Amino acid sequence: MAENKQTNLTYRDSGVDIDAGNYSVKLIKDSVKATYRPEVLGDLGGFGGLFALNSGKYKEPVLVSGTDGVGTKLRLAFMLDKHDTIGQDAVAMCVNDILVQGAEPLFFLDYLAVGKLDPQQVATVVKGVANACKESGCALIGGETAEMSGFYSDGEYDIAGFAVGAVDKSKIITGDKIKAGDVLVGIPSSGVHSNGYSLVRKICFEVKGFDGSEKFDELGGKTLGEELLTPTRLYPSVCLPLIEKYDIHGMVHVTGGGFYENISRILPEGTGVSVNADAWEMPAIFKLLQQWGNVDWHEMYRVFNMGIGMILLVSSEDAKSIQADLAAKGEKSYIIGEVVEGNQTVEVKGGVFNE
């Protein structure tokens, strides 16, 4: 009777390459360490990231946390095989969210799940995360790269992040101070950011049949793919000095839900907001998306940021000083509306709504 010889299986045979994982860590180590703040303890590779809160900086420190992903914008990264910007999207969606409550981002952790681990691809994505953390002033103190063979297709991945910030309890921005007569200071977005991409993909790649390589005069020489992969803007370095200096009554990160959902969620009872759509120049990409998809304008302002990524609700007096401070740093800003009496409703007027 012949001897039955069984092959010795390894983890690599099942689709998980431990050596590739170790190599990817080696490739990103310098980028990660470049984000460290003085409060970071230990080194990359521990079971948990350590961060010693500077208690002398806060009287009553409150930790503010947020988590998010990039959504279906990832499909464009796969389609165009461009992975150097998507990490910034993951960071921005988290740090911008905790910023609006007055928090300084302290540290960030990322989670990256892949089908087959490509160390160079992982390094490209995580370097984008690290660069965005450094620009936001927060440390990248940990993360996880999971190789999930058979779950994601080769070359595809998902990324999510988790940010923690701190603010003094007395300085938390809740929206409670918002009152009729306040004005809205809008700070421009860098483009579509990371929301509405299911609709973007429907319009561009199903309805119009584009492949991302198309060029349009309105986009200033960028291909459609380059425009759509422009990373979400990071607002901490712009807004933290304003939070320190002024009495900010409310802040809005314009993400999924656009103007209608995001502004209304911070309004106290008895107030509403009137937005003047003529106050800023709408980026060309939004006009093109509306035309290509024949999307109702109300729907556009309900889904996209339309060129305004961050909104500060402040007194009219402070608004003038805030705009002057921003202009001195080369930052554009616009008075895009006012707070009125109402029932936590948002109305968008002007521009296309009058056509």
Q: Domains of the chain by range and CATH?
A: 12-171 (3.30.1330.10), 183-354 (3.90.650.10)
- On the question of pLDDT at 353 being above 80, the answer is no
Counting Cα atoms < 13 Å in the Cβ hemisphere of 245 gives: 13
Residue pLDDT, tens place only, 287-328: 999 999 999 999 999 999 999 999 999 999 999 999 999 999
Q: Which residue has the higher pLDDT, 262 or 350?
A: 262
Q: Which residue has the higher pLDDT, 351 or 296?
A: 296
Mean pLDDT of 250-268: 96
**Contacts of residue 105, Cβ cutoff 8 Å, sequence gap at least 6:** 94, 95, 98, 99, 136, 137, 138, 163, 164, 165, 236
pLDDT the model gives residue 350: 85
Residue pLDDT, tens place only, 138-155: 999 999 999 998 899 989
Residue pLDDT, tens place only, 76-98: 999 999 999 999 999 999 999 99
Mean pLDDT of 267-276: 97
* Cα three-residue angle 144-257-94, rounded to 5 degrees: 25
Nearest Cα neighbor of 285 from 229, 346, 233 is 229
Q: Which residue has the higher pLDDT, 342 or 44?
A: 342
Q: Which residue has the higher pLDDT, 42 or 178?
A: 178
Q: Which residues pair with 314 in a beta bridge?
A: 183
Give Rg (Cα) of the chain. Answer: 22
- On the question of pLDDT at 202 being above 70, the answer is yes
Percent of the chain scoring above 90 in pLDDT: 85
Mean pLDDT of 106-118: 95
- On the question of pLDDT at 354 being above 60, the answer is no
- On the question of pLDDT at 194 being above 90, the answer is yes
- On the question of pLDDT at 44 being above 80, the answer is no
Q: Which residues of 62-78 are buried (b: 16+ CB within 10 A; e: fewer)?
A: bebebbbbbbebbebbe
3-state SS record for 196-248:
CHHHHHHHHHHHCCCCCCCECHHHCCCEHHHHHCCCCCCCHHHHHHHHHHCCC
pLDDT the model gives residue 4: 62
CA distances 240 to 226, 301, 334, Å, are: 29, 27, 18
pTM of the model: 0.93
User: Would you say how long the chain is, in residues?
Assistant: 355
> 355 pLDDT band (50/70/90 cuts)?
low
